[in-house]
């Protein structure tokens, strides 16, 4: 059976190479080769291919956003991620349940085997990428634990209120403390987490899953 493909990659040389390689194979049929996330989604809707082979680093709409939209639309097309994106994005793709994942340092032959496996209903997750993702996840969990241990329960509550955009006066009112005490808590939080201000604190809380 011939497997219908849509290819999406932001780099013309890579895209042309993939298209040329798969067009020359009798068991694949390339329906479209596009460079942006919006075009990838449009091609999936138009051609309904068996598999979308995509990088995560697409213009206009990210690869993760394309996958999310396909899941929302209950698309029958199965995504295969072929990427050199940062490991954090790879981790999110795994978390979203992508059935196929191949690093760009692997050969087209490996990618072809992945596509066939995914087309047949299986899963193919690049071992190197999954190992790196697990290492990152464990490191994040370690940092989260350290961060939550650094702050007292009251300081953690204040930090969360700050990230919600509440001013010191409102925080003090909600916690039945003086505004001066709220400011003191915030001063201690900044020192402990090495955050110079509210925006930095908000980023820290988001990155460490403390919201």
51 vs 7: CA distance, rounded Å: 9
Q: What is the pLDDT of residue 66?
A: 94
Q: Which CATH code is given to the segment(s) 3-132?
A: 3.40.50.2300
Query: Among candidates 128, 141, 57, 130, which has minimal Cα distance to 98?
Result: 130
| CATH no. for 151-207 | 1.10.10.10
Q: Which residues belong to CATH 3.40.50.2300 in the chain?
A: 3-132
Percent of the chain with pLDDT over 90: 53
Report pLDDT digits (tens) over 79-104: 999 987 666 777 788 888 899 988 88
Residues of the chain within CATH 1.10.10.10 domain(s) are 151-207
| Cβ contacts of 116-122, under 8 Å, gap ≥ 24 | 116/3, 116/27, 118/51, 118/78, 118/80, 119/3, 119/50, 119/51, 119/78
Give the confidence band of 140 by pLDDT, cuts at 50, 70, 90.
low
* Predicted structure pTM score: 0.62
Give the CA diameter of the chain.
74
Cα separations (Å) of 169 from 33, 79, 182? 55, 49, 8
Q: Does residue 136 surpass a pLDDT of 60?
A: no
Q: Which of 99, 89, 30 is nearest to 63 (CA)?
A: 89
The 10s digit of each residue's pLDDT in 44-82 is: 999 999 999 999 989 888 999 999 999 999 999 999 999
């Amino acid at each position: 059976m011939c497997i219908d493909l849509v290819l999406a990659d932001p780099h013309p040389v890579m895209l042309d190479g993939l298209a040329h390689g798969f067009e020359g194979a009798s068991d694949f049929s390339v329906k479209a080769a596009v460079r942006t996330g919006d075009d990838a989604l449009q091609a999936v809707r138009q051609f309904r291919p068996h598999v979308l082979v995509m990088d995560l680093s697409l213009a206009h709409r990210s690869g993760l956003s394309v996958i999310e939209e396909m899941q929302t639309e209950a698309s029958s097309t199965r995504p295969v991620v072929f990427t050199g994106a940062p490991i954090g994005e790879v981790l999110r793709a795994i978390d979203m349940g992508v059935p196929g994942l191949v690093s760009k340092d692997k050969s087209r032959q490996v990618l072809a085997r992945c596509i066939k496996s995914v087309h047949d209903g299986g899963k193919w997750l690049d071992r190197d990428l999954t190992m790196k993702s697990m290492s990152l996840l464990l490191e994040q969990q370690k940092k989260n634990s350290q961060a939550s241990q650094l702050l007292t329960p009251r300081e953690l509550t204040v930090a969360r209120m700050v990230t919600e955009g509440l001013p010191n006066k409102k925080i003090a009112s909600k916690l039945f403390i003086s505004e001066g005490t709220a400011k003191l808590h915030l001063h201690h939080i900044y020192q402990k987490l090495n955050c110079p201000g509210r925006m930095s604190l908000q980023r820290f809380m988001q990155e460490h899953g403390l919201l």
